[in-house]
Amino acid sequence: MIMAKPKPIEEIINEIKGFDKILVAGCNGCVAVCEAGGLKEVEILASALRMYFGNQHKNMQIDEVSLTRQCDKEYLAEIKDRIGSYDAVVSIACGAGVQFMTEMYNTKRIYPGVNTCFIGVTEEKGVWTERCQACGECILARTGGICPIARCSKRILNGPCGGSSNGKCEIDKDVPCGWQLIYERLKELGELKRFEEPVSPKDWATSRDGGPRKLVKEDSQI
């Protein structure tokens, strides 16, 4: 799932302060789960903005909506009839949602209300951590199900590096060393042999390095 966190409110205020009518648009997909962009967060952000502009004695109408998803046209279409009446939208969906809304309503200004962070999991309530960098050529089968690209700070494929200490990464005592985890897992699986063979350079063309990516599934295109 895609993780995001709210932008500092000052940044949002700075973008919208010149307008009179704003729509705050949430998304009930990923960003709702990580408590950054769902219905509840729409309410919180909208009330904070109302309070701010109220204190400034600025007459500002701030409305709320939360869509099922912002990365699908069919759900974006739900605001087709009302979007015309707003000066701008603050979308608190992920970066993809913000862009797709911009594409669909290209006469409107759509501002991002969150910082989109990573693909990850809910580790415990209120704690989300990264697991995948969408490299486009998954190697988890070789690494005991733990991703060295997302979980090693240097995305080393022949790890660990010399900075691994007590199971932690050299960059931070709170960050587990991905390669320590891989090692433990391979040991459990009896697959330590995988360690001894050098892994050759990866083809990054399927990753962001190959330029904007696209998937086509022909049998879905009817």
Binding site for ligand SF4 (CB under 6 A): 132-135, 138-140, 147, 149-150, 152-154, 156, 159-161, 163-164, 169-170, 177-179
Supply the minimum distance, in Å, between the C-beta of residue 32 and another protein.
30
Separation CA 61–CA 50 (nearest Å): 8
Q: How far is the CB of 147 from ligand SF4 (least distance, A)?
A: 3
Here the tokens at position 209 are: 């390095």
158-177 positions binding another protein, by CB under 8 A: 158-167, 170-172, 177
Instruction: Decide if residue 99 touches another protein (CB under 8 A).
Output: no
Q: How far is CA 207 from CA 56, 118, 175, 214, in A?
A: 46, 15, 24, 11
Q: Answer yes or no: are the C-beta atoms of 54 and 13 closer than 8 Å.
A: no
Asked if 64 and 43 touch (Cβ cutoff 8 Å), the reply is: yes
Of 173-202, binders to another protein (CB under 8 A) are 177, 180, 183-184, 192, 195-201
Q: Which partner from the list another protein, ligand SF4, none does 204 bind, CB cut-off 5 to 8 Å by kind? A: another protein
Residue 160, preceding bond cis, omega within 30 degrees? Answer: yes
The one of ligand SF4, another protein, none whose footprint includes residue 140, by CB under 5 to 8 A per kind, is ligand SF4
Q: Which of 83, 92, 109 is nearest to 29 (CA)?
A: 92
Binding partner of 89, given ligand SF4, another protein, none, CB within 5-8 angstroms per partner class = none
Q: Is 157 in the site for another protein (CB under 8 A)?
A: yes
138 binds, among another protein, ligand SF4, none (CB under 5 to 8 A by kind): ligand SF4
Residue 143 interacting with another protein (CB under 8 A): no
CB of 148 to another protein, least distance (A): 9
Compare residues 86 and 183 and give the one whose CB is closer to another protein: 183
